[in-house]
Homo-oligomer: A and B are copies of this chain.
Amino acid sequence: MVFTCDKQQLQDALTLVGRVVSSRTTLSILECVLLIAKEDEGIILCASDLEVSIETKAIPAEVEVAGSIALDAKLFTDIIRKLSGDFVTVEVDDSQTALCKSGRSRLKIVGQPPDEFPLIEMDKIDEHGAVNNRYSLKSVVLRDMIKQTVFSISPDQSKLVLTGELLEIKENALRMIAVDMFRISYRAEKLEGDVLECKAVVPGKAMNELARILPAGDEDEVSFFFTPKWAVFETGSFIMVSRLLEGDFVRYDQIFNEDFSTSVVVNRLQLLSAFERAVLVAVDSRMPPTQLDINDDDLLIKAHNERGQVNDGIPCETDGKDLSIHFNPRYFIEALRAIEDEKVVIKFNTQLSPCTIRGADSEIDCKYLIVPLRPPA
């Protein structure tokens, strides 16, 4: 294998796939990036951690001899970054040694045979030709949908399906839902045209990686589809494939409730910073139970523990009864950071039933449900 390409393009592609590369594993091939040089096409880079794989679209290159090799991703990336020239030539010999040349610099490193690399082949994913529907969204929209929900996935590995996000296509919209024991995050977005209904649970790690690498240009689109075992996301620069999680997801739609006995409209950033102050007295990661007292048009936020005591007050518009209720402040902070509106509407029922939060103005279909803490005896 021998090719010459633009150094910056190769470096950008390495950065793109690099996040999926494992850093310390017992399988050293997983610390590698797979380079494939195809005549008349260019260079393709692949990385995989067995759950998630990323494959770049072809980078333009002058391919003298086609071939492939697996190279230590971190070392190869550092080498490309540190080369001084604008172009780099990579020559791989039969002993899997790669020589990287640029200007008068020569760096030689030993690679691994490409056939050891756990490449997920696209034609295996859709082997029965089952995929008859692809969906499409603006790349930045999908990225925001992930960021506005993924923080609510469950950390509990004993209920694996909840460590992922539900992607549900229903009523011509994509709904994304993340759930743990104490909260639900929900975000939906209309899809163009008539789309088949479908659902899949994608691991949180894959969703996080996807949000990081989705292109941010106004014109960038992402298309995606699901098979019974895989989710596939494709942009102009890469294809990401993630294994799906199996199991029954929570029936979230029956839990959100528009009834309320108390509803408040409050400035989002003021409420967020009050909760952020409550968290200051957290001891390690133990959050102080935070009390919300709604008295007419005034919202009091209180927390105390062995470390200290916090009191805050914010004006609000209240509809309904006064209420005193306790929450884990972290759940409120994450939801309030995800919403973009100036004001939020929070709907409560009893001291023991979940509240819902959503933006007061925006058209974005985004809502959060949080289960309260039992009031201290």
Contact = CB atoms under 8 A, between A and B. Distances in A.
Interface of A: 75, 78-79, 82-84, 104-110, 270, 273-274, 276-277, 280-281, 307-314
Nearest to A303: B107
Contact of A310 (B106, B270, B307, B312): B106
A198 B245 CA distance: 71
A273 B83 CA distance: 8
Q: Count identical subunits in the complex.
A: 2
Given A75-B307, A82-B273, A307-B75, A281 B109 contact: yes
Given A82-B273, A104-B314, 7 more contacts: A105-B274, A105-B311, A106-B310, A106-B311, A107-B277, A110-B307, A110-B308
Give the residue among A78, A274, A280, A281 with the most B Cβ atoms within 10 A.
A280
Contacts of A274: 105
Given A104-B313, A104-B314, A314-B104, A83 B277 contact: yes
Q: Which 3 A-B pairs have the closest CB atoms?
A: A109-B308, A106-B311, A104-B313
B104 A312 contact: yes
Contacts of A82: 273, 276-277, 280
Nearest to A277: B82
Contacts of A280: 75, 78-79, 82, 107
A307 to B, nearest CB: 7
A314 B103 CA distance: 10
A84 B271 CA distance: 11
Contacts of A109: 281, 307-309
A108 B309 contact: yes
Contacts of A312: 104-106
